[in-house]
Structure 1
Amino acid sequence: MANSENPVPARQARFGGSTAVQIARRLRRADGKLLVGGAMLGVLIALSLLAPFIIPYDPVALDITSRLQPPSTAHWLGTDEYGRDVLSRILMGGKLSLGLGFAATAVSLLLGVPLGLWAGYRGGRYEELILRGCDVLMSFPPIMLGLLILAVTPPAMWKLIIAVGIVYVPATVRLTRAVTLEIVSEEFILAARVRGERNSYILLKEILPNAMAPIVVEASLRVTFAILLGAALSFIGLGAQPPSSDWGLMISEARPLLDSAPWIALAPGFAMGLTVIAVNLLGDGLRATFDPKLRRHN
């Protein structure tokens, strides 16, 4: 049992510790899904970052003489209706799609985590106001809320990132609040209050570090939803705009050619599916590695 004179051991015992050594030990015993998902996602990110240097063709250059060519040694994934190399567009589009997923998730964390911490820590009318606001946002289907946010202004990538991020703020708020409610009942929080620590210190130095593991796990899974929602909004014309090589936009442009040139839609669809699988494996692996309840069952 901890006392007010030494709250750190209580914090480490209750939440499994948060030191670099303990995290490294958990990662050495990491679930296989974490390793496979991390490796897959790492390869996808590396290909996206290196795309400007390894793509065989200019992804936006038109070549009408090469339009609608099937996969071949010259164009491994074929060409589209404008003669653009599909492989080059897939690799360049990965930077857009993955960037959207991670950036939108970051927006949801930047907005949702502080609100969730404050709601769980202060309670009362603050909590009620924040939760009711989340209920209003959650009453809309995700794609409908994204449409409402984007439809009033001209489409732009940064607007798409903000819109998708806002869609997932309520889920982030609720998760952070739930974790905070569990942590504030611990003795080291009582000890901090007895010492006269400020609310900002307790939230940032005591609660937030102990809440990070479940928040990071959930955020890794939210990346998948953000990528898919962003692709859906680009598909209907409210996200990335031509001649962008965003995967959702590529699938939308390939709709009229599904019968005659299916490779144009299959390639970005496969890339998106592979990314979703990688992120889901990574999220499941993080959950299995860092969730104390799951570790006790394994």
Structure 2
Amino acid sequence: MNALIRAALVGAVIGLGQAALAVQATEYDNLLVFLAMLAGAFPAGGLLCWWGKLPLPWLISAVGSPGVVVYLPASKIPFRDIVDLGEWGGRLVFMGLGVGAFTFAAALVVPMSRNVRLPVLGALLALGLLAPLGRDSLAALAGMQVLAREGVPAVGLDAPGYRLTTFSAEEATLTLRYERQRDGAELAVSVEPRRWTEPQETCYSGRFHLSRPAPPGAGRVRCEEEPDGVWVRSDDMRYAVIAPHGAATVEVFGDSASVAELRAAFATLRPLRWHEVVWLRAAD
């Protein structure tokens, strides 16, 4: 057991080193960064295992080092999501990978009791197989971090009878879809930084955010400003309400919602809590 603890500490250090390299790339198709991460982990891991007086240090490193780097693409966890978690979030993920990989390697090659070896290997294999199931939740957390760094408020609706069905946060733009439980009618919300677009500019962009193609009979798209500064975009059959909300421009759209319904939904905007989004993605 002492050898497993020392191997875990070695893995944590290797993970920190990998996290430092990871910020230099945005995706795994950057071959030079990938090779640097892979080539650097083996000698560093071997030296740390030797310094920690682990038996078979180079064999442990040969088994554990590739696992830190190869696991993410093998399990289809996007590299960008790890980076988007921020400095400490990314470090913790890579430290976890290092701890798991080197502990697994030590349990595999170091002489020890079967009563210790088999449960440790089984637990780590199970964690490794189950971890990809949480990649959507990881993507949601990364998206929330992106919004926070860009100063975009993560806001959502608290409209009665609607439930959140889709969350997406890309390039400082938050998009949400809600479904009315009684009949399946949808509302869509788009949140963008006001430094990118003001309500008037969004309205005159000439399109409905997230909308389906215009239904037959829809007329020319028009924009009108109401007395309280809210902009309404319409094509005779559909409406979108666009207005500022703090540091963001928010658009609320519904294929079958009236302006009054959209304004009522807009009035329910509230901060979106991270656990709501994580649970949504985990449930998917």
TM-score for the superposition, normalised by structure 2: 0.28
Answer 1 or 2: which has greater helix percent. Answer: 1
Question: Rg bigger for which structure?
Answer: 2
Q: Could you say which structure has the higher strand fraction? A: 2
